[in-house]
């Protein structure tokens, strides 16, 4: 029973939720601890929750909703303002937790669902808008598998009702057209915050990525055990973007993978 969560502090989230409500006949149900709650007539078993807090502070969802998967409808903040559709898991690779969650704690990734949404995003008839994974970052910290679906860019982009409706449409298609065509579930290591090589490999059907550790957190190899444990389904392999890390960093990664008994692939 998937739950879709939208925040009143996020214009993309509100617009995408409104598009969902109108296109799949969500009807308001009894509130959950004072929060508005909706059930879809066209998507059996799918519910929606309105929150007044930012998504990143929604750690309370584990105790509020009974579900096996949470989708966060959200805008994406980009310093460069590059237009994009993105998906990503949650967690913090370092001692900093300025955007929710807890230091050095990862949430539970949903690799198959993320890939399914990513594939749907890649078919949108939009020009000059990137479709990409993002590396694991920010909160909330949940024990329930979850993922973010985002529209990013400047104010015109994140406030765009047509683009938010496109995001909602990707979610509807992901919920009604499951696509399990991938070879293995993987943890990604290396690359940038926007791991284009991992995105390409995923869209080619080679891997469904769970957590992704970008190169600027490559010293946090002790967290690789978490990355493999906190995913449903569990990853089978570590995919390393080889050229993005130096020889010393590679040794640290490989030593830890060898200690954990985890297979790796160079890309």
pLDDT digits over 192-204, tens only?
999 999 999 999 9
Whether residue 81 is found in the same domain as residue 156: yes
Q: What is the CATH number of the domain that holds 43?
A: 3.40.630.50
Look up the domain containing 43 and give its range.
Answer: 3-176
124 and 10 both lie in a single domain: yes
| Domain's final residue, options 147, 176, 205 | 176
Do 47 and 143 belong to one domain? Answer: yes
Same domain, 66 and 194: no
Asked if 100 contacts 162 with a C-beta cutoff of 8 angstroms, the reply is no
φ, ψ of residue 105 to 5 degrees: the values are -130, 135
Same domain assignment for residues 254 and 198: yes
Q: Is the pLDDT confidence value at 233 over 90?
A: yes
How far, in Å, CA of 76 to CA of 130, rounded? 12
Q: What is the CA radius of gyration of the chain?
A: 18
Using DSSP's 3-state secondary structure scheme, residue 219 falls into: coil
Six token digits for residue 257: 């993978």
Same domain, yes or no: 86 and 15: yes
- Of 145, 176, 207, the residue that ends a domain is 176
Distance of alpha carbon 61 from alpha carbon 47, whole angstroms:
13
User: How far apart are alpha carbons 214 and 208 in whole angstroms?
Assistant: 16
Q: How much is the average pLDDT of 198-213?
A: 98
The pairing of beta strand 47-51 with beta strand 184-189: unpaired
Distance between CA 200 and CA 80 in Å, rounded? Answer: 22
Pairwise CA distance, residues 74 & 15, whole Å: 10
Q: Are residues 128 and 165 in the same domain?
A: yes
Looking at the structure, do residues 51 and 136 belong to the same domain, yes or no?
A: yes
Report CA-CA distances (Å) from 189 to 20, 64, 144, 167: 34, 33, 23, 27
Say if residue 74 is in the same domain as residue 15. Answer: yes
Range in 65-74, 156-165, 175-184 the model is least confident about: 175-184
Q: What is the overall mean pLDDT for the chain? A: 96
Alpha-carbon gap, residue 157 to 75, rounded angstroms:
9
| Same domain for 49 and 84 | yes
What's the domain count of the chain? 2
CA distance 75 to 78: 10
| CATH code assigned at 218 | 3.40.50.10700
> Which pLDDT score, from 0 to 100, does residue 78 have?
73
Give yes or no: residues 44 and 60 share one domain: yes
Instruction: Indicate whether 43 and 127 sit together in one domain.
Output: yes
pLDDT score for 178: 84
The Cα 20–Cα 188 span in angstroms is 32
Domain boundary among 123, 158, 176: 176
Which helix (H) or strand (E) segment holds residue 73: the answer is strand 70-76
pLDDT tens by residue, 98-149: 999 999 999 999 999 999 999 999 999 888 899 999 999 999 999 999 999 9
């Amino acid at each position: 029973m998937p739950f879709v969560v939208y925040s009143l502090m996020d214009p993309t989230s509100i617009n995408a939720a409104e598009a969902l409500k109108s296109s799949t006949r969500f009807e308001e149900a009894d509130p959950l601890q004072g929060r508005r709650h909706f059930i879809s007539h066209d998507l059996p078993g799918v519910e929606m929750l309105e929150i007044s807090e930012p998504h990143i502070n929604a750690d309370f969802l584990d105790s509020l909703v009974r579900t096996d998967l949470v989708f966060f409808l959200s805008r994406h903040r980009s310093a460069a303002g590059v237009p994009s559709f993105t998906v990503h898991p949650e967690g913090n690779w370092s001692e900093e937790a300025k955007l929710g969650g807890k230091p050095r704690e990862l949430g539970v990734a949903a690799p198959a669902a993320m890939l399914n949404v990513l594939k749907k995003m890649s078919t949108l008839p939009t020009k000059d808008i990137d479709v990409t994974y993002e590396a694991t970052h920010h909160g909330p910290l949940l024990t329930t598998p979850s993922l973010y679906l985002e529209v990013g860019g400047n104010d015109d982009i994140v406030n765009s009702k047509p683009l938010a409706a496109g995001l909602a449409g990707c979610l509807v298609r992901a919920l009604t057209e499951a696509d399990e065509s991938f070879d293995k579930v993987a943890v990604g290591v290396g690359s940038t915050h926007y791991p284009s090589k991992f995105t390409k490999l995923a869209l080619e059907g080679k891997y469904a990525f769970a957590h992704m550790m970008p190169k600027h957190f490559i010293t946090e190899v002790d967290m690789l055990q978490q990355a493999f444990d906190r995913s449903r389904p569990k990853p089978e392999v570590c995919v390393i973007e080889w050229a993005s890390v130096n020889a010393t960093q590679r040794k640290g990664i490989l030593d830890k993978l060898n200690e954990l008994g985890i297979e790796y692939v160079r890309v």
